[in-house]
Structure 1
């Protein structure tokens, strides 16, 4: 049985940090970083497997609640991939009442996940827009 929550309690932050570190783009996350991102995300979705009480899925959203919502950090525990946890996460995000009037729900994903996200109406056809990024190399400032 899966339980979907809109918060991540403080005692689960180390568990969420460990889950995040299984994804290539989040390997450097620390519990302090994760607490900070939870405090500054507009929406979070956490999925727990019962009776094991294991955190098995997570996603978060940054939004202005009118024009755009950006889905970030979608992660499912490797042991639960293919079991419906990812679908439950996306269902919870796209049907969240706070996002009902948002014009554009957006995310970035690897090419192999495009078919998965298409099930919720996401498309890679976004005109001529291109993803651009500016990063700060923390190693230079530490």
Structure 2
């Protein structure tokens, strides 16, 4: 099967308005303004997934110090592309990224995607129903 998408970290390709509309209607981002989204993108390590004609399929960002810690945020696939495996593709691409792969700890919060992230090594943190992490740092 021919690959019908590409992934880019080029922030100039992002459809910020569509990202904001999706996030502002989500359970985690209600009320987030366009200026809020622009600022979060500016201050994050971002990934976009696109059709071959540059239509945005989804988005994700990682807040990171680029050495030790990365916090996955706003992992989204736009409605018309959901159910086609693009979420898995995006998460796999993020985890394979050299910068992300070398981080010692990854964390995220989710209300409904635990099974997705568990397949990539994320585990629940304590008794939280939201927090998950992958911790590769050995503490002695």
TM-score range, shorter chain: 0.7 to 0.9
Question: Is 1:17 the equivalent of 2:17?
Answer: no
Tell me, in whole angstroms, the C-alpha distance in 2 between the residues paired with 1:9 and 1:57. Answer: 14
Distance 1:113 1:92 in 2: 17
Report the counterpart of residue 139 of structure 1 in structure 2: none
Query: Root-mean-square deviation (CA), in Å?
Result: 2.4
Whether the aligned pair in 2 keeps the contact of 1:20 and 1:27 (CA below 8 Å) is yes
Q: CA deviation at 1:11?
A: 7.1
Where does residue 34 of structure 2 map in the other structure?
31
Counting matched residue pairs gives: 128
Q: CA deviation at 1:83?
A: 0.7
1:30-69 correspondence to structure 2 within 5 Å: 30-41=33-44, 43-51=45-53, 53-69=54-70
After TM superposition, give the deviation of residue 10 of structure 1 in Å: 7.1
CA distance in structure 1 between the aligned counterparts of 2:20 and 2:128, rounded to whole angstroms: 32
How far the C-alpha of 1:75 sits from its partner, in A, is 0.9
Q: Please list every run of 5 or more consecutive structure 1 residues that lacks an aligned counterpart in the other structure.
A: 133-142
2:84 matched to 1:79? Answer: no
How far apart are 1:127 and its partner, in Å? 4.3
Counterpart Cα distance in 2 of 1:96 and 1:119: 17
Instruction: Return structure 1 stretches of 4+ with deviation > 6 angstroms.
Output: 128-132
More strand per residue: 2
In structure 2, stretches of 5+ residues that fail to align are 132-140
Match of 1:116 in 2: 116
Deviation at residue 38 of structure 1 after TM alignment: 1.0
